[in-house]
Amino acid sequence: MPEIRVKIASSVGLHARPASLFVKAASGQPGDVRIGRPGTELVDARSMLSVLSLAIGHGEEVVLRAEGDQADQALTELSRLLTSDLDA
């Protein structure tokens, strides 16, 4: 299962609006997508509650892991979101 590490660019971290945009994009992916801090158990990226419970702040590094035929494409799209200031 491919994975990538990215730093959160959003000035408020992965909270409220940025989390909502990320979860919506993750929900549109055909395979399983997970997110979390390096070295911890990853959570379902399609679950708003799970993503918010991570309390990920600005500049923190996260791991994205995707499964399925289009896993690499999903990682590219989602990492692009996370490396943008989604709160702008």
Q: Which residues are the active-site residues? A: 15
Cα-based torsion angle of the residue sequence 63, 83, 10, 65 in order, rounded to the nearest 10 degrees: -20
Give, to the nearest 10 degrees, the angle between helix 16-27 and helix 71-82. 170
